[in-house]
Structure 1
Amino acid sequence: MPYDSSIVDYIIVGSGAAGSVLAHRLSQTPDCSVLVLEAGGADHDESLRVPADFLAVGSDPRYTKQFATEPFGDGQVEQWSVGRITGGSTTVNGMIWNRGGAGDYDAWAAAGWGWARFLEAFRMIEGSSGDGRQRIGLAGRDPASDLWLDTLARREITPVRDLNGSGGERAAYAPLTIADGHRVSAADAYLHDAVKRPNVQLRLRCDVRLVVFDGTTATGVEAVTPDGEVRFSARREVIICAGTLGSPLLLERSGVGDPQVLQAAGVPVVAENRAVGGNLRQHRGISLITKLSNLPAAGAPFGTTTVVSVLKSDPGAAGPDTEVIFHPFGGPDADGGIAGAAVGYYPRTPTSTGSIHITGPGLDDVPRLVPNYLSTDQDRQVLVAGFARVRAIMATDPIASVMTDAAPVPAAGDEAAIVRHSLEHGFVANHQIGTCALGPAGVVTDDLRVRGTDGLRVADASVMPTLPSGNTAAPSMAIGWIAGDLVSKACMERAPYA
């Protein structure tokens, strides 16, 4: 196998939300050399920066990779789509910038990852802080979304300007990673400038097959490239930022994981780490498709979620446990209004856990992805209660006067039908986390080192032990920022790794 002649201090596997930010942070230390390996190609296509095109690019095989689930519900199989392009999923996602709540992160405080640490990272990342590069804008106003906000206010869900600026039940025009009408991916914000520095390289179409070990110490990676298989070497660390689905699979192909899983897949065990690939959590919800009519003409067709609301599924809930998105679509209809809207909702902090594991040693061996949706009483209860709350909002004026159902929906009181509807006709939000989780029994330590190994860390959404009560792009970038603190400190000190 050919070797890359250059040896760097750090190899970052993946250029997505966390990888782009981490590369930027490490590039600020001139004595540290960094190689970023991205399985996908360049993000030059202008359609990637057009917000209205996100539904198309989010499933385009040129820019994404699909992971098929095991059968569930009535036997259907879903495809989970992740970015396979410079910038990762931030280049193809729905662009919502939702931090989640303080309580989500304080639940991780035992591992040293509380809200204060994340809040500092968010403030440093966000362009609004004056220090950050990730620019955030608001979805454009339109008549349907204004009516939806007015309706939420009548149901005592307070409209606010900044969804991330307060707690409690609230609604706002969606904060989006858009500036001057264009998507701003993590690569746009951080990676493209980082690779202009002499100590950072970006190699595209390098699909990392495995981590190379000397004993249990990571020394590099082997990747499939357009020129064949190539080995890249790292003096100090390999840092995996391949995402919730990619990172555990790479660990397992490399021999790090549950010995039973590895042996069944024909992979020799390098380090036992039984938690790899477990604790998979995902937002599963229901999307209610409606027709809207008798509205003023709204201008250009819609392409993004316009309003995000956070609410209690039931008045007795301790706090907001449900997220609702309002997504108008289409253009002016014959009546001068717009075609319709999707009203989607999901439990914010699901407790159901699934898994993803390799079935063989190769990149082409299809993994076993078990979503295990709605497998806990808590998740089913929040889903059912949330359905009644959302339907009550939809039946309230002023939105009720212009909205009609465009597809059959279950009755609000039929719990079994609501759960079945979510499983058979619902949607997955692509907010997967948790497969390389932090914590005392998790895959990584509180400084993101992979247990049982040296010179190897994971830094992406897979390290989140539970789902933040929001979307995952913002906390993933924050993890990249915090990882930058951890790794930069070690690099500057040139301290040996334990």
Structure 2
Amino acid sequence: MADFDYIIVGSGSAGCVLANRLSADAGSQVLLLEAGGSDRRFWIKLPIGYGRTYFDERVNWKYETEPEPAIKNRRSYWPRGKVIGGSSSINAMVYCRGLPSDFDDWRQLGNAGWGWTDVKAYFERSECRVDASGKAAPGGPLHVSDVSNEMHPLRRHYFAAAEEMGLPYTDDFNGPNPEGVGIYHINTRRGVRCSSADAFLRPALGRANLQLETHALVRRVLFQGRRAVGVEYEQHGRVHVVRARREVILSAGAINSPKLLQLSGVGPAALLRQHGIEPVLDQPAVGGGLQDHIAVSYFYKATEPTLNDQLHPISGKLAAGLRYVLSRKGPLSVSVNQCGGFVRSRADAPTPDLQLYFNPITYSTAPAGKRPLMNPDPFSGFILSFQPCRPLSRGRVDISSADPKTAPSIRPNYLSAEQDIADVIAGGRFIQQMARTEAMRRLIKEAIPPYLDGMTDEQIVEDFRERCGSVFHPVGTCAMGPDARQAVVDSRLRVYGLEGLRVVDASIFPTITSGNTNAPTIMVAQKAADMILADQKQQDVA
């Protein structure tokens, strides 16, 4: 039985940061456990390759929700990274901190130290900002690249339409003025994906005090009374037990962290007993609070060439591939999510309430079961999409078996809040207005059904229910809060009612942020590392 100071479960966006920061102290022994395997894969490193990893069970948990009544009893597919780097190895690489008001809301909910002025420096600590010429500014290890030079020229129509609507333009969604339309910055380094593993873990792996174990599925956290003292994990058919002298830290993500807590006896007592698990702590909040962004896309045929024209023909794919090999540039070096923005659906909205996407590609005719990114349509086309920024609906993640290899039950409870329905209508009306601008009318050859232009409010909602899908931003299932009866962790991310156990990942978000969730997850880990080290220093002094 091996002993470590810290055991980190999950080498995803947060776990890689923690492994780096905690192992920087040569006196601490750190173990990082990852259920998946190596991220040294071509389709992970190639930016547009996430279309291939989308259904790849070798690197992806491939979760599905339960049938959701509000979206026509459809199941929602939720890819989650099962690989070194976690979901930062298979995501679309968009780097958005979120809006300052997101974090001020966290603080106002009673989470001291989590307002915008508190967390801004933790974002900056990670970021290496790279301008459009490729010049990197001094900063952290995570490359945040301005890839505007690689954006498709179709973007000029989108920005012209936004200008007609009076929308502001921003050159940096992570800058001092994030509101408006612009080009998404992404996590690439010289045309190659820069995951949390690339930025934080790989530089630390040479340290003798950091041990990484892959294909290590953690079965449960081990307790002595109410103190976490280690974990049990399975690797290549053998069960191992390791002990933690200081802390066990769950960074397994918004699905697997609550699942692991419940498997370990921390969760709703009735649920645990139903599966033959003796409760260590009856905590109904574990698994609750689930939030996610859902979006819908509207498809249009274009009057001028789009990425479809480049990437649909085999010859075009080969040309794009050759360009990428020779220069690390071109459409394969960027995300399909090229432009977008954070906008207000109405003038009196207190903060931006919609996130937009403008993609110079369509895949409306892609065969079912195929990742659309690899099957662009045989005609010029583009997409306008929206997602409500701050949905209020909350669902749950719960174990469906005591077997750690069984997927949990995921119930997002989409559109259960009345305000979320109003936001869907506002989003549909906003895209209607954009499509009717002179700039867009020049670009649109014809709309592809269903036709948004003539829809009533009721039809907008009905269409959304039929076609909306997750944007893969699950959060909140081990939420932070000041009340131990309603939250799972305190403002220092310690699990209420237990000792030696923290959760550090997107599951601690008290409310979902307005945009993509990878950047704030990395921020959470940076801040958590400071708190863990400070708490340990205080204990050592005492």
The answer to whether 1:314 aligns with 2:312 is: no
Which stretch shifts more, 151-160 or 170-179? 151-160
What is the deviation of 1:447? 0.8
Conserved 8 A contact 1:272-1:452: no
The one of 258, 267, 270 equivalent to 1:260 is 270
What is the deviation of 1:64? 0.5
Partner of 1:422: 464
Output aligned runs, 1:392-431, within 5 Å: 392-403=433-444, 404-410=446-452, 414-431=456-473
What is the deviation of 1:320? 0.9
CA 446–92 in structure 1, closer or farther in 2 if over 3 Å, else same: same
Conserved 8 A contact 1:99-1:471: yes
* DSSP-derived class of the 1:304 partner: coil
The answer to whether 1:305 aligns with 2:337 is: yes
What does the per-residue CA deviation read over 1:198-251, in whole Å, with 9 as the maximum and x for residues that have no partner?
A: 111111000111101111111111111114111121111100000001100000
Conserved 8 A contact 1:151-1:398: yes
Partner of 2:48: 52
Partner of 2:476: 434
What is the deviation of 1:410? 4.7
What does the per-residue CA deviation read over 1:107-154, in whole Å, with 9 as the maximum and x for residues that have no partner?
A: 111212111222010111101262301001124222112221221122
Conserved 8 A contact 2:306-2:360: no
Output aligned runs, 1:39-438, within 5 Å: 39-72=35-68, 73-109=71-107, 110-112=110-112, 113-128=114-129, 130-139=138-147, 140-167=150-177, 169-295=179-305, 300=320, 301=331, 303-329=335-361, 339-403=380-444, 404-410=446-452, 414-438=456-480
The answer to whether 1:462 aligns with 2:463 is: no
Which stretch shifts more, 295-304 or 193-202? 295-304
Distance, in Å, in 1 between the alignment partners of 2:183 and 2:198 is: 23
Distance, in Å, in 2 between the alignment partners of 1:80 and 1:38 is: 19
Distance, in Å, in 2 between the alignment partners of 1:358 and 1:135 is: 36
- What amino acid is aligned across from residue 434 of structure 2 in structure 1? I
CA 192–416 in structure 1, closer or farther in 2 if over 3 Å, else same: same
What is the deviation of 1:263? 1.4
Partner of 1:334: none
* DSSP-derived class of the 2:361 partner: strand
Conserved 8 A contact 2:306-2:381: no
Distance, in Å, in 2 between the alignment partners of 1:232 and 1:393 is: 57
The answer to whether 1:15 aligns with 2:11 is: yes
What does the per-residue CA deviation read over 1:345-373, in whole Å, with 9 as the maximum and x for residues that have no partner?
A: 11101100011101221113332211111
Conserved 8 A contact 2:298-2:452: no
* DSSP-derived class of the 1:324 partner: strand
Distance, in Å, in 1 between the alignment partners of 2:219 and 2:306 is: 54
- What amino acid is aligned across from residue 242 of structure 1 in structure 2? A
* DSSP-derived class of the 2:410 partner: strand
- What amino acid is aligned across from residue 163 of structure 1 in structure 2? F
The answer to whether 1:28 aligns with 2:24 is: yes
CA 33–338 in structure 1, closer or farther in 2 if over 3 Å, else same: farther
Distance, in Å, in 2 between the alignment partners of 1:116 and 1:198 is: 36
Conserved 8 A contact 1:461-1:472: yes
* DSSP-derived class of the 1:163 partner: coil
CA 118–59 in structure 1, closer or farther in 2 if over 3 Å, else same: farther
* DSSP-derived class of the 2:80 partner: strand
The answer to whether 1:472 aligns with 2:473 is: no
- What amino acid is aligned across from residue 328 of structure 1 in structure 2? P
CA 178–397 in structure 1, closer or farther in 2 if over 3 Å, else same: farther
* DSSP-derived class of the 1:448 partner: coil
Conserved 8 A contact 1:287-1:427: no
Distance, in Å, in 2 between the alignment partners of 1:437 and 1:38 is: 23
What is the deviation of 1:491? 3.1
- What amino acid is aligned across from residue 215 of structure 1 in structure 2? G
Query: Normalising by the residue count of structure 2, what TM-score does the alignment of the two structures yield?
Result: 0.86
Conserved 8 A contact 2:222-2:232: yes
What is the deviation of 1:342? 2.2
Distance, in Å, in 1 between the alignment partners of 2:77 and 2:467 is: 14
What is the deviation of 1:426? 1.0
What is the deviation of 1:490? 2.7
Distance, in Å, in 2 between the alignment partners of 1:114 and 1:53 is: 36
Distance, in Å, in 2 between the alignment partners of 1:467 and 1:345 is: 16
* DSSP-derived class of the 2:14 partner: helix
* DSSP-derived class of the 2:154 partner: helix
What does the per-residue CA deviation read over 1:422-458, in whole Å, with 9 as the maximum and x for residues that have no partner?
A: 2221121011100000002300011111111110000
CA 267–415 in structure 1, closer or farther in 2 if over 3 Å, else same: farther
CA 283–388 in structure 1, closer or farther in 2 if over 3 Å, else same: same
What does the per-residue CA deviation read over 1:160-206, in whole Å, with 9 as the maximum and x for residues that have no partner?
A: 21112144641111111112111100000000111111111111000
The answer to whether 1:449 aligns with 2:494 is: yes
Please, what is the CA RMSD of the aligned residues?
2.0
Query: Normalising by the residue count of structure 1, what TM-score does the alignment of the two structures yield?
Result: 0.94
- Structure 1 vs Structure 2: percent identity of aligned residues? 33
Unaligned runs of 5+ in 2: 130-136, 311-319, 321-330, 364-377
Distance, in Å, in 2 between the alignment partners of 1:168 and 1:79 is: 30
- What amino acid is aligned across from residue 320 of structure 1 in structure 2? P
- What amino acid is aligned across from residue 89 of structure 1 in structure 2? S
What is the deviation of 1:494? 4.1
Conserved 8 A contact 2:30-2:211: yes
